[in-house]
């Protein structure tokens, strides 16, 4: 693997790029990838292909009725757990083909004796692999444009909401809704604690100060336009993201063994430590009612992690 030092025209002669010039081109590659990502996520109502994640909460036990006296706490049904499964993210990949290397397709560099065009592998080593590394970072800046993260907010600066449908909703029993006067109460009365939404990071176009140089069909040196070099790099980034056999493929998972966390941890909370809030209601001499409501202290039952994986 050989990263080359591209040449640019400084107004009077060709000059080797500085590391900052190369980094700006790698960021440009990310931007052009973001215009047409090859690994995409969508939000569906159910049946996605990323793993299912569960929300759990307590519901009341069934009400009991007796004649002449209240049913004892020992005989009333205990609160139990409701589980709601969410499998709302579908991952897909595009079919990508790349421009063939004609011997003049890629930017030029100085090989020690002459100006020479990069090979495809040089191009990958110099620009594309580093751009993919940026994409797969755990941060969520414009250098990760075209990739995804999870947030409890449905509006995040620098990103676009994929769907108004949350990928997960954390709920708990709303204890304020259960009253003795309402027995027999509805068993399941949840409140929403947090919604979790999927976002895609927006790209920011910054034109390179020192664009690279190519060899044209007449063997003349020509400066790339921003669009030309950006599209070429973006094309090869798209290809690596879905087709790489050398460790630069990008995928997403939830709680997988590989990958880097992206965005908010997805918390499933529940009331714990309670024993059932036993309540009674007198209706008539032949209708004594009792029921146990959810109680306890809010706690995190488990946490799910949305990840971006480069492999």
Q: What is the mean pLDDT of residues 19-44?
A: 99
- Tell me the per-residue pLDDT of 173-186, one tens digit each, with 9 for 90 and over: 999 999 999 999 99
Q: What is the pLDDT of residue 310?
A: 98
* 3-state DSSP assignment of residue 6: strand
Asked, for residue 52, whether it belongs to a domain, the answer is yes
Asked, for residue 1, whether it belongs to a domain, the answer is no
- Tell me the per-residue pLDDT of 52-108, one tens digit each, with 9 for 90 and over: 999 999 999 999 999 999 999 999 999 999 999 999 999 999 999 999 999 999 999
DSSP code per residue over 20-33:
HHHHHHHHHHHHHH
Q: Is 183 exposed, middle or buried (0-12, 13-18, 19+ CB in 10 A)?
A: buried
Residues 158 and 141 sit within 8 Å (Cβ to Cβ): yes
Residues 280 and 251 sit within 8 Å (Cβ to Cβ): no
- Tell me the per-residue pLDDT of 257-286, one tens digit each, with 9 for 90 and over: 999 999 999 999 999 999 999 999 999 999
In percent, how much of the chain has pLDDT > 70? 100
Paired sense of beta strands 277-284 and 250-254, if any: unpaired
Rg of the chain in Å (alpha carbons): 29
Domain count across the chain: 1
Q: What is the pLDDT of residue 90?
A: 99
Q: What is the pLDDT of residue 2?
A: 87
Q: What is the mean pLDDT of residues 198-214?
A: 98
Q: What is the mean pLDDT of residues 225-238?
A: 98
Token readout for 190 is 């949840």
Q: What is the pLDDT of residue 273?
A: 97
Q: How far apart are the C-alpha atoms of 13 and 57, rounded to whole Å?
A: 70
Q: Tell me the pTM.
A: 0.96
Average pLDDT, whole number, for the chain?
Answer: 98
- Say how many C-beta atoms besides its own lie within 10 A of residue 12's C-beta: 6
Asked, for residue 2, whether it belongs to a domain, the answer is no
First to last CA, the chain: 17
Domain that holds residue 26: 7-310
| 1, pLDDT greater than 80 | no
Q: What is the mean pLDDT of residues 9-25?
A: 97
């Amino acid at each position: 693997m050989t990263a080359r030092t591209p040449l640019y025209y400084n107004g009077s002669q060709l000059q080797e790029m500085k590391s900052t010039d190369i980094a700006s081109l790698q960021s440009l590659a990310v931007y052009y990838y973001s215009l047409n990502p090859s690994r995409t996520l969508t939000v569906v109502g159910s049946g996605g292909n990323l793993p299912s994640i569960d929300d759990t909460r307590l519901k009341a036990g069934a009400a009991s009725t007796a004649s002449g006296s209240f049913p004892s706490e020992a005989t009333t049904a205990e609160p139990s757990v409701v589980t709601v499964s969410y499998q709302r993210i579908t991952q897909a990949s595009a079919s990508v083909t790349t421009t063939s290397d004609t011997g003049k397709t890629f930017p030029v560099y100085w090989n020690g004796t002459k100006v020479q065009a990069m090979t495809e592998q040089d191009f990958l080593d110099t620009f594309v692999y580093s751009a993919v590394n940026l994409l797969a970072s755990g941060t969520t800046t414009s250098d990760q444009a075209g990739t995804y993260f999870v947030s409890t907010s449905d509006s995040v600066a620098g990103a676009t909401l994929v769907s108004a449908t949350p990928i997960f909703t954390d709920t708990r029993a709303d204890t304020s809704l259960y009253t003795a006067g309402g027995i027999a109460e509805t068993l399941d009365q949840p409140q929403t604690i947090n919604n979790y939404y999927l976002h895609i990071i927006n790209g920011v176009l910054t034109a390179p100060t020192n664009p690279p140089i190519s060899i044209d069909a007449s063997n003349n040196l020509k400066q790339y336009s921003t669009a030309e070099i950006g599209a070429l790099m973006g094309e090869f980034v798209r290809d690596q993201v879905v087709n790489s056999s050398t460790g630069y493929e990008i995928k997403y998972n939830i709680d997988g063994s590989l990958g880097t966390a992206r965005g908010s941890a997805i918390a499933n909370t529940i009331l714990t430590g309670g024993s059932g809030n036993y309540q009674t209601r007198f209706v008539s001499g032949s209708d004594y009612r009792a029921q146990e409501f959810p109680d306890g202290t809010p706690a995190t039952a488990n946490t799910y992690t949305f990840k971006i994986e480069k492999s």
